[in-house]
Chain A
Amino acid sequence: MTDSSLLSSLLDALQLLLLGDGKLWSIILVSFKVSSLAMLVAALPAVICGFLLAYMRFPGRRLLISLFNTLLAVPAVVVGLTFYILLSRHGPLGDWKLLFTQTAMVLGQIALCFPIMVAMSHAAFQAIDLRAWETARTIGAGTVQAFMMIVSEARYAILGAFVAGFGRIIAEVGASMMLGGNILHYTRNIPTAIALETSKGELSQGIALGIVLVTLSFLLVSVLHYFQGRGQIQ
């Protein structure tokens, strides 16, 4: 490829972004819709799990902790494959007819971001002194209220866990491709579109979406750093 064609692709990409190309923005919208939904479902249960693992003593606790730590390293394609088998027509959940829908993508992304958010909020709660919980209880807070007080103590680290969870799913290709099927205006999101457009030789589309992802990653990392910094000052 010559330099000039790369440059013109880049210019085309910027033009697509700035002029608000309909197809491009529908792809970006799918990405955000699916990943936000997954986060919405997974965030609170993950924080509660992290809390229970950090503060409660029950049999199997250590095993669960290593399980989540293992799960967070499982490649997205493998998660995709697992859900593909479950949801495919002859699979155990085949009757739900969910394969190649946004719901299937949301399910896969929940499975991807949940373990990392559990592991990170577990670490966040572990950094908070047990006396915080005891103090909350002894000044008269009920279980839920005491939980909220501890969450507030660990807020920066927990926000960090959310950012990391979102970062894990917004840019992954494997699960989205296998579970969504890359259908335009429905299940085609940023990463699957990049893979497709590039393979078709439509570099400018790919680059435009790549710019969106890189900008987003940069923002997420900055936010993460900010929260980690705030957490340390406390």
Chain B
Amino acid sequence: MSYKPTNIQYSNIHKRWKRHIVLKEVDIHVQGGHCILISGKNGSGKSTLLRIMAGLVKPDQGTIELGLGTLPWKQGVKITQQQVMYLHQTPYLFSGTVEKNLRYVQAAHNNLPIEMEDINKAMAWANIRHLSHKPVHQLSGGERQRVALARARLRSPKVLLLDEPTANLDKDSRARVMELLSSLRKQGVAIVIASHDPIHFSSVIDQRLRLIHARLEPEPSQPDNIIPLHERGASHS
């Protein structure tokens, strides 16, 4: 199997909810091994943009370019959908145990066999192995987030879209998320993170964008010393 780096250009995305324009002429280019951070205030449209890119929400306008020329949205998204994984702001876990949730990834992914060994590895990595037989409704917010991350690691998509991935996490878990992100980035996964709290991600970010007045703009560069020292320490461990 020949390796082809991911390269998707989403262009001219428009989205309105009723009369409220959320996204206007938004262009975004995702590339394997490249990590983008989208910041913006509450309600600025970050989640909406990621959900559109994941094929979960239909934009009013937009095209997708995949190196085969420009495709209309409907056609393009059919192809990208299989490569893109979206992590909800608050993850949904299926009723049952943690392990069952990871097995679901295996079942859904039956053209690419995942062994029990991989499930165990993913659980150990996300530090949820001790929870493997626990029913998910008993988990804490941070634990649920870690299950969702283990699921993402198992799925190993070409493009990973994360919606506020560290909102519920303590420092240790946050450091672990950074580890995941930088290892995925090294493996050539394209990453897009939406967060109004962009400071935690500095160690993995290649490009910073900002949603403001429904438009996606480059973030004006900021001095490095804004990042608190202890956070930098955590993100490199």
Contact = CB atoms under 8 A, between A and B. Distances in A.
Interface residues of A, number: 18
Interface in A78-106: none
Interface residues of B, number: 23
B42 interface: no
A8 interface: no
A131 interface: yes
A15 interface: no
Contacts of B104: 136, 139, 141, 149
A46 to B, nearest CB: 22
Interface in B14-59: 51, 54-56
12 contacts: A129-B92, A134-B86, A136-B108, A137-B55, A138-B54, A138-B86, A138-B87, A140-B105, A141-B107, A146-B108, A149-B104, A234-B137
Interface of A: 129, 131-132, 134-142, 145-146, 149, 152-153, 234
Contacts of B108: 136, 139-142, 145-146, 149
Tell me the dominant secondary structure on chain A's binding face.
helix
B87 to A, nearest CB: 8
B165 to A, nearest CB: 14
B109 interface: yes
Interface string B77-102: 00001101111100110110000000
Given A145-B107, A234-B137, A140 B92 contact: no
Given A134-B56, A134-B86, A149-B104, A139 B109 contact: yes
Contacts of B176: none
